[in-house]
């Protein structure tokens, strides 16, 4: 005889989607049916295993008085100061043995209890539904002691009929949540594993005769300007759209003249679906999405997607996002010229989609499905190719489509991410195509496009993208007929991405290339008392992927990173280019739908970076794709012969939903003439006196040739050749990219420990010349370096010439000089700004006069790395010095050395020392996005080759 001693938790490892839940349906907030939010503080008990506790906590009268509390929506691992476990970050590895559908016995299980009062005026007619908008990863639910069922599918809504069970007065809702379940095998997205009831829990009254499910079909015929509306509803009723004089029965089509919905012109019509029992607000956007002539067209026009991948993230609350945070994402996207979002890699909170409808963003809505970890075993046992799992896959597809089908912003349904290929995916695609033929299907893993309506790839390099644009990429017959998007590209990890402008050029050049979605929106840093922001490994995970989780265009607190500023410039909706010498500016409307009537233009003219004149520019309201040349006024005459340049800006002509009047959407700059280089007669002669050499305002150590001071400014460390930078995530590259990971190759070569051998110090007639050889231990390669100092009596000029010796097989990280100043805070410069720039990420660097402080020059990448360079600097002033470049240079200053920056893992490891370290660089190596994609393109390589460059120093005190 045998008997079982543990309670049955078989449902946890059951591949089925669950039992007891209602069929999926449209998600909406009723105008008049009552609802009760069950968000708030819940009683909470954590167990180490799924079966540790019996079900008695679900019984009425159970005393949970000694339980802890958690906030719902929320993840328990982010609450309780570590008492409830901690987050785990893995990219694609399952943090448990791959043994589908089984999960570890150690399966953190959170019992949640919520006692609530049913309001006394809660209607007694009809029924009620209990809705969970998101629970990770498996939940079993009881109301007043009766089990309702269990479900999986973390980022999908699940509803239960509870009308019969509700009681007047006190009700008890019990939810048991297991961190791991069979569903976890389908949710292997690159993100933190965060169990909990992380989205809303709501009780909905369902009056008799209320809407069950409905489907708004609102198409637009661009040839007639008419829209056709038909609202299908399970329960008959009427559809009212007052602004269009529409009053029709459900199921009946009606065609009227309308303004279409596009992401650029998100016109929504308010309507109502009225049934006997309920009024449902509708927000109707008329648009038609088709695949035609091998292109994705909306309302007859091909769209260029300027998108981003958005995970839901908040540094303290994880994936439990409030409405304001969602709105902040949308506002930031709109203000930075983005027009599209892929909801990687699961359907977002539905309120986010409402915002996309309202503010205007094209959406790829992606299903909650990823099985990436199976790649470790060549995709053997992959659930998407195993019929036993197909019901779960179809359930997920249906829960996405049914919930979100009434959003005009959604143009693609995505089957999921990185799940290999298989019959289950095909079944999903077939079901979706059948249920919603009015949208297209996306899935990146399907390179043959068997199931999809677009050829989608991630991180394809520029040259391959170009081939695809030219239709030279081959592929199946089906694929050759499809447009191309990069559902992920330009990995925004750490400093970068570089190479964005080069991608955009390709997207704009070839029709077949319909744009892409940057990976990704936000760094998933977890707020941490000591570390600032934590990433993988900071919670002692046994398997983790470090800071690969911090790869967004905005920092964890949503401050835009330089990558976002760069992207905004690269995708600006208006192109402004000029012929400065002839005073002509060419304006091109790069939008797909809107003319330029929402924008105003202004010109300004700068002399040496300072605006001396400005005015408005009259530009015709060009149609999409149109361009015009506009004459600028005569440039101001500058008696001093300074550098003159035009700046032309496109601004919002009035307030919009997403930004106020005068918000800058695009700009262009062009020179009136070339920059006059500093002239410098070398008139002074070095003089030796008591171990010191004096040359103009400067003093040097006669033995070493080290610069000691200029005028009254002490130089803490003499300018020396510097080639090292703290490798960026993109320099280090992803593990799988073996031959071009220069961050690694540089270190192997020893560029982080260069030695300086002094060859000679020679005081000549008009110059002090210091020769040295700069090279790493154990290698024969080196850089022959000559520092030539001259003076005109007041100023000091340093000319550096560098001659590489030996066989340099790698580019240099940087090439310039580094020196130290004992004091410096305020910084002013004339050059590129206001933010950082690198050779392949400098589109947004605007030439002007900028001010900052040493601290504010730093870009706070979550994992410290090279950052903060300013491009095209003509001169900079700091610490009592003025430094002019011949030619322009890259400027960086920080309160720690590059070596300290390199050693730091978190920003909290960086402590300001008593020296400000200044780098004046002649060149920097490009950035690229090799942390997942391509490295810098060849034109952004900093090759080791002979060069000469100069700086002129003077004092400002």
Binding site for ligand GAL (CB under 6 A): 91, 189-190, 345, 417-418, 458, 488, 491, 519, 548, 551, 932
Classify residue 880 as exposed, middle or buried by CB count within 10 Å of its CB (0-12, 13-18, 19+): middle
3-state secondary structure 556-593: CCCCECHHHHHHHHHCCCEEEEEECCCCEEEEEECCCC
Measured from the CB of residue 746, what is the shortest distance to ligand GAL in angstroms? 23
| Chain residue whose CB lies nearest ligand GAL | 190
Measured from the CB of residue 523, what is the shortest distance to ligand GAL in angstroms? 11
Beta carbon nearer to ligand GAL, 111 or 370: 370
What are the tokens at 124?
A: 């007694």
> Which residue has 């020396």 as its token pair?
720
Q: Nearest 5°: CA angle at 555, between 855 and 91?
A: 130
CA quadruple 345, 357, 197, 13: dihedral positive or negative? negative
Beta carbon nearer to ligand GAL, 250 or 344: 344
Beta carbon nearer to ligand GAL, 190 or 200: 190
Beta carbon nearer to ligand GAL, 91 or 591: 91
What are the tokens at 454?
A: 């677009």
- What whole-number distance in Å separates Cα of residue 721 and Cα of residue 719? 7
Measured from the CB of residue 519, what is the shortest distance to ligand GAL in angstroms? 5
Beta carbon nearer to ligand GAL, 690 or 735: 735
Measured from the CB of residue 15, what is the shortest distance to ligand GAL in angstroms? 23
Beta carbon nearer to ligand GAL, 385 or 418: 418
3-class DSSP assignment, residue 36: strand
Classify residue 625 as exposed, middle or buried by CB count within 10 Å of its CB (0-12, 13-18, 19+): exposed
- What whole-number distance in Å separates Cα of residue 770 and Cα of residue 786? 6
Q: Closest Cα partner for 715 from 821, 818, 791, 796? A: 821
Measured from the CB of residue 444, what is the shortest distance to ligand GAL in angstroms? 7
| Sequence-distant (≥ 6) Cβ neighbours of residue 798 within 8 angstroms | 719, 787, 788, 789, 817, 950, 951, 952, 953
Measured from the CB of residue 417, what is the shortest distance to ligand GAL in angstroms? 5
DSSP letters spanning 263-283: SSSB--EEEEEEESS-EEEEE
Measured from the CB of residue 501, what is the shortest distance to ligand GAL in angstroms? 21
Alpha carbon 768 to its chain centroid, in Å, reads: 50
Beta carbon nearer to ligand GAL, 266 or 496: 496
Question: CA 66 → CA 44, 45, 46, 55, 259, distances in Å?
Answer: 9, 9, 12, 17, 59
> Which residue has 């001169």 as its token pair?
875
Beta strands in 73-168 (DSSP E): 88-90, 106-118, 127-132, 135-136, 138-143, 146-152, 158-161
3-class DSSP assignment, residue 187: strand
Helices 390-404, 423-435: axis angle to 10 degrees equals: 30
What are the tokens at 205?
A: 């009254």
- What whole-number distance in Å separates Cα of residue 631 and Cα of residue 626? 17
Measured from the CB of residue 335, what is the shortest distance to ligand GAL in angstroms? 24
- What whole-number distance in Å separates Cα of residue 885 and Cα of residue 878? 14
Beta carbon nearer to ligand GAL, 190 or 886: 190
| Sequence-distant (≥ 6) Cβ neighbours of residue 66 within 8 angstroms | none
Measured from the CB of residue 492, what is the shortest distance to ligand GAL in angstroms? 9
3-state secondary structure 690-750: CCEEEECCEEEECCCCCEEEECCEECCEEEEEECCCCCCHHHHCCCCCCCCCHHHHHHHHC
- What whole-number distance in Å separates Cα of residue 135 and Cα of residue 557? 24
DSSP state of 672: S
Beta carbon nearer to ligand GAL, 90 or 337: 90
Contact 808, 820 (CB under 8 A): no
Q: What residues form DSSP beta bridges with 469?
A: none
Q: Closest Cα partner for 731 from 721, 716, 740, 742? A: 742
Beta carbon nearer to ligand GAL, 520 or 872: 520
Measured from the CB of residue 482, what is the shortest distance to ligand GAL in angstroms? 20
Measured from the CB of residue 65, what is the shortest distance to ligand GAL in angstroms? 43
DSSP state of 845: P
Beta carbon nearer to ligand GAL, 525 or 835: 525
Q: Roughly how many angstroms between the first and final C-alpha of the chain, as a whole number? A: 95
Measured from the CB of residue 412, what is the shortest distance to ligand GAL in angstroms? 16
| Sequence-distant (≥ 6) Cβ neighbours of residue 46 within 8 angstroms | 68, 76, 84, 85, 108, 109, 110, 111
Active site residues: 418, 488
Beta carbon nearer to ligand GAL, 190 or 538: 190
Measured from the CB of residue 934, what is the shortest distance to ligand GAL in angstroms? 14
Beta carbon nearer to ligand GAL, 283 or 457: 457
């Amino acid at each position: 005889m045998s008997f079982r001693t543990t309670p049955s938790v078989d449902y946890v490892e059951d591949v089925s989607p669950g039992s007891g839940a209602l069929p999926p349906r449209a998600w909406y907030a009723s105008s008049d049916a009552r609802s009760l939010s069950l968000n708030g503080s819940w009683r909470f008990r954590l167990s180490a295993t799924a079966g540790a506790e019996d079900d008695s906590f679900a019984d009425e009268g159970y005393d949970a008085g000694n339980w802890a509390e958690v906030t719902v929506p929320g993840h328990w691992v982010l609450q309780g100061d570590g008492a409830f476990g901690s987050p785990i970050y893995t990219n694609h590895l399952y943090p448990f043995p791959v043994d589908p559908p089984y999960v570890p016995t150690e399966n953190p299980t959170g019992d949640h209890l919520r006692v609530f009062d049913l309001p006394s005026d809660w209607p007694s007619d009809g029924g009620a539904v209990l809705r969970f908008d998101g629970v990770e990863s498996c939940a079993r639910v009881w109301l007043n002691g009766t089990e309702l069922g269990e479900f999986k599918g973390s980022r999908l809504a699940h509803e239960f009929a509870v009308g019969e069970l509700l009681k007047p007065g006190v009700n008890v809702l019990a939810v048991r949540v297991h961190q791991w379940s069979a569903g976890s095998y389908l949710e292997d997205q690159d993100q933190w594993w965060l169990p909990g009831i992380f989205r809303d829990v709501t009780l909905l009254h369902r009056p008799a005769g209320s809407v069950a499910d409905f489907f708004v079909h609102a198409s637009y015929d661009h040839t007639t300007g008419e829209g056709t509306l038909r609202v299908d509803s399970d329960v008959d009723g009427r559809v009212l759209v007052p602004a269009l004089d529409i009053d029709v029965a459900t199921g009946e089509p009606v065609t009227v003249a309308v303004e279409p919905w596009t992401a650029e012109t998100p016109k929504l019509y308010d309507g109502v679906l009225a049934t006997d029992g309920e009024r449902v607000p509708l927000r109707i956007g008329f648009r038609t999405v088709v695949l035609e002539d091998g292109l994705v067209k909306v309302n007859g026009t091909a769209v260029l997607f300027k998108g981003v991948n958005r995970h839901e993230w908040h540094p303290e609350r994880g994936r439990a996002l409030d409405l304001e945070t969602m709105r902040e994402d949308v506002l930031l996207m709109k203000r930075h010229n983005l027009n599209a979002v892929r909801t990687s890699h699961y359907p977002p909170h539905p309120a986010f989609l409402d915002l996309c409808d309202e503010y205007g963003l094209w959406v790829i809505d992606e299903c909650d499905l990823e099985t990436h970890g199976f790649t470790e075993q060549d995709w053997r046992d992959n659930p998407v190719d195993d019929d036993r799992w197909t019901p779960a896959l179809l359930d997920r597809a249906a829960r996405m489509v049914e919930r979100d089908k009434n959003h005009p912003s959604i143009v693609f349904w995505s089957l999921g991410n990185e799940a290999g290929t298989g019959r289950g995916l095909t079944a999903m695609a077939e079901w979706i195509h059948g249920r919603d033929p009015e949208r297209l299907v996306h899935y990146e893993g399907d390179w043959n496009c068997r199931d999809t309506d677009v050829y989608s790839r991630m991180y394809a390099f520029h040259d391959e993208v170009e081939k695809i644009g030219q239709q030279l990429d081959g592929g199946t017959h089906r694929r050759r007929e499809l447009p191309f998007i990069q559902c992920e590209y330009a990995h925004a990890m750490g400093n970068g991405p570089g190479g964005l402008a080069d991608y955009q050029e390709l997207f704009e050049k070839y029709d077949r290339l319909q744009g892409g979605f940057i990976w990704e929106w936000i760094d998933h840093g977890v707020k941490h008392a000591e570390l600032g922001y934590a990433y993988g490994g900071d919670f002692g995970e046994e398997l983790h992927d470090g800071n690969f989780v911090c790869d967004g265009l905005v920092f964890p607190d949503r401050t835009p990173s330089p990558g976002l500023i760069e992207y905004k410039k690269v995708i600006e909706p208006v192109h402004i280019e000029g012929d400065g010498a002839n005073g002509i500016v060419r304006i091109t409307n790069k939008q797909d739908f809107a003319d330029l009537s929402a924008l105003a233009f202004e010109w300004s003219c700068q002399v040496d970076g300072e605006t001396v004149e400005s005015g408005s520019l009259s530009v015709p309201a060009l149609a999409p794709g149109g361009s015009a040349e506009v004459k600028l006024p005569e440039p101001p005459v500058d008696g001093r012969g300074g550098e003159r340049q035009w700046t032309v800006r496109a601004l919002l002509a009035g307030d919009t939903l997403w930004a106020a009047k005068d918000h800058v959407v695009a700009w262009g700059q062009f020179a009136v003439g070339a920059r006059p280089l500093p002239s410098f007669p070398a008139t002074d002669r070095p003089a030796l006196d008591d171990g010191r050499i004096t040359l103009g305002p400067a003093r040097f150590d006669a033995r070493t040739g080290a610069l000691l001071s200029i005028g009254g400014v002490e130089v803490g460390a003499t300018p020396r050749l510097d080639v090292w930078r703290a490798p960026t995530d993109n320099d280090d590259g992803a593990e799988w990219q073996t031959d071009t990971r220069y961050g690694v190759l540089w270190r192997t070569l020893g560029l982080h420990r260069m030695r300086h051998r002094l060859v000679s110090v020679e005081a000549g007639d008009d110059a002090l010349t210091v020769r040295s050889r700069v090279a790493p231990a154990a290698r024969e390669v080196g850089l022959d370096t000559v520092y030539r100092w001259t003076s005109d009596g007041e100023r000091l000029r340093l000319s550096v010439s560098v001659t590489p010796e030996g066989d340099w097989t790698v580019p240099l990280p940087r090439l310039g000089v580094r020196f130290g100043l004992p004091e410096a805070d305020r910084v002013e410069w004339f050059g590129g700004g206001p933010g950082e720039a690198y050779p392949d990420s400098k589109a947004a660097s605007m030439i002007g006069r900028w001010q900052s402080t040493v601290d504010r020059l730093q870009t706070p990448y979550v994992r410290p790395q090279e950052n903060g360079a300013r491009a095209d600097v003509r001169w900079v002033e700091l610490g009592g010095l003025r430094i002019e470049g011949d030619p322009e240079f890259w400027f960086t200053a920080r309160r720690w050395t590059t070596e300290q920056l390199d050693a730091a893992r978190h920003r909290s490891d960086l402590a300001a020392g008593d020296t400000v370290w200044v780098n004046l660089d002649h060149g920097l190596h490009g950035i690229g996005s090799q942390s997942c994609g391509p490295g810098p393109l060849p034109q952004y390589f900093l090759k080791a080759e002979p060069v000469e460059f100069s700086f002129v120093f003077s004092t400002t005190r």
